[in-house]
Amino acid sequence: MKVHFAPARPGSATCVPTFVDRLNAQRAPQRHRGVADPAEADVIVFPDCHLLGRDWRLTAIAENDLVRRYPGRIAVYDERDLPWCRFPGIYVSMPSDTFSPTAQVAGSYYQIDDPADRLGVPADTIEQDLLFSFVGGPTHPCRDAVFALRDPRAVIENSAGFLFFDPASTRFEERRREFAEVLHRSKFALCPRGTGTSSIRLYEAMAAGRAPVVIADAWLPPAGPDWDQFSIRWPESGIAELPEYLAAREPDAQTMGMKARAAFQMWFAPDVVLAHAFDQLEVLYRTDGFTGCPQGGYRGTQYRRVGSEQVLSRLRALKARLIS
């Protein structure tokens, strides 16, 4: 499949160059290739959804001239925590109750760093002395129950105020190294949902060879891996019972971690992740030419959900300014 990557707002920040480089560097055999001319492309992909800020309706993309010139070829790669499906494409955090298999592919983050690169010492020299761990911010109510967990062999840390992907955060490199150390010390890595249903922590746990415990009722796993072989799905309503269950599963942790690492290398490593994602996207394209997505997008539950959250977010920001 020939793919043309297009910026949502020409002249503004874009991840198009990264996508082009990543797609062209995918491990052989490579069935997809990037092309510079949109007229030559089978599919035109806009990967900048997460850079559009308050434009949650993706108006910048809808008004792009390529959408008018090449209807039926347009798709998005949407990593937003709160996505709304205006176009067909690959969605990382589309909730299961609003997922449409005729227009959407359940995908993963396209850029996942191996936490071992931040350690400063060989990963295999770190003792796995923790049964489980979680380090993260209070970005979803289910995390409150995670923060309340207590176990003598667990590290649970509320990192409110620290952004793991913002170099401006205090002690950025040091905190990221500490996170990697805790992860590698753990036999199980708790991966509760945040604002979005997915979590990059899940894929980092796999890369580290640790068994992920997915706590996200509405998360849809990307196609490919046999997730039951190396991960645990746990209901958001039963978090208090999790330590006892993990203690019983401790003998399985090492094997699960090895399988998690193998699955990461096969499906989500930087040199394969886009190839697999576009394999799935091609199925949509070859099936109906993206006609499964209604013109103007889906205006149902997720549209109202995201719209309401945008209003609440602005009200919270206004309140914070008034207080300050």
Tens-digit pLDDT profile for residues 193-226:
999 999 999 999 999 999 999 999 999 999 999 9
| Inside any domain, residue 302 | yes
Three-point CA angle 149, 154, 160, nearest 5°: 65
The answer to which of 29-38, 49-58, 91-100, 161-170 has the lowest mean pLDDT is 161-170
Q: 65 Cβ partners below 8 Å, 6+ apart?
A: none
Are 36 and 85 part of one and the same domain? yes
The alpha carbon of 314 is separated from its chain's Cα centroid by a whole number of angstroms, namely: 24
Kindly state whether residue 198 falls inside one of the protein's structural domains: yes
pLDDT value for 172:
82
pLDDT for the residue 324: 62
SS3 content of the chain, % helix, strand, coil (to 5): 40, 15, 45
What 299-307 contacts at long range (C-beta under 8 Å, 24+ apart), as own/partner pairs, is 300/98, 301/97, 301/98, 302/83, 302/84, 302/85, 302/94, 302/95, 302/98, 303/84, 305/82, 305/98, 306/56, 306/82, 306/83, 306/84, 307/56
pLDDT the model gives residue 188: 98
> Do 126 and 215 sit in the same domain of this protein?
yes
In a domain, 160, yes or no: yes
Q: Are residues 20 and 80 in the same domain?
A: yes
Would you give the DSSP letter of residue 27? P
Count of domains in the chain?
Answer: 2
- Domain CATH for 257: 3.40.50.2000
Last residue of a domain, one of 244, 267, 290: 267
The reply to whether 137 and 254 lie within a common domain is yes
Q: Is residue 12 part of a domain?
A: yes
- Residue type, position 300, single letter: G
What burial letters (b/e) apply to 160-177, b meaning 16+ CB within 10 Å?
eebebeeeeeeeeeebbb
Residue 210 has which token pair?
A: 């640790």
pLDDT for position 97: 96
What is the rounded distance in angstroms from the CA atom of residue 11 to the CA atom of residue 13?
A: 7
Q: Answer whether residue 294 is part of any domain.
A: yes
- How many whole angstroms separate alpha carbon 152 and alpha carbon 293? 50
Cα(324)–Cα(322) distance, integer angstroms? 5
Q: Is residue 323 part of a domain?
A: no
Whole-number CA gyration radius for the chain: 20
Are residue 127 and residue 65 in the same domain, yes or no?
no
Are residues 212 and 311 part of one domain?
A: no
pLDDT value of residue 62: 97
Q: What is the pLDDT of residues 108-162, one digit of tens each?
A: 999 898 999 999 899 999 999 999 999 999 999 999 999 999 999 999 999 988 7
Residue 178 covered by a domain:
yes
Domain boundaries, position 285:
2-110+273-318
Domain match, 209 and 301 both:
no
Please state, as a whole number, how many other Cβ atoms lie within 10 Å of the Cβ of residue 60: 19
Q: Residue 192: inside a domain, yes or no?
A: yes
pLDDT at 315: 85
Q: Contact at 8 Å (CB) between 183 and 113?
A: no
> Would you state the structure tokens that stand for residue 53, as one six-digit string?
């800020």
- Answer whether residue 89 shows pLDDT above 90: yes
Residue 86 CA to residue 55 CA, distance in Å, equals 12
Task: Look at residues 226, 252, 267 and tell me which one is the last residue of a structural domain.
Answer: 267
**Is there a single domain that holds both residue 129 and residue 26?**
no
Residues 124, 262: one domain? yes
Task: Mark whether 76 and 134 lie in a shared domain.
Answer: no
Pair (171, 300) in one structural domain: no
Positive or negative torsion for Cα 146, 151, 156, 158: positive
C-alpha triplet 115, 121, 124: angle, nearest 5°: 75
pTM of the model: 0.94
Task: Let me know whether 133 and 40 are in one domain.
Answer: no
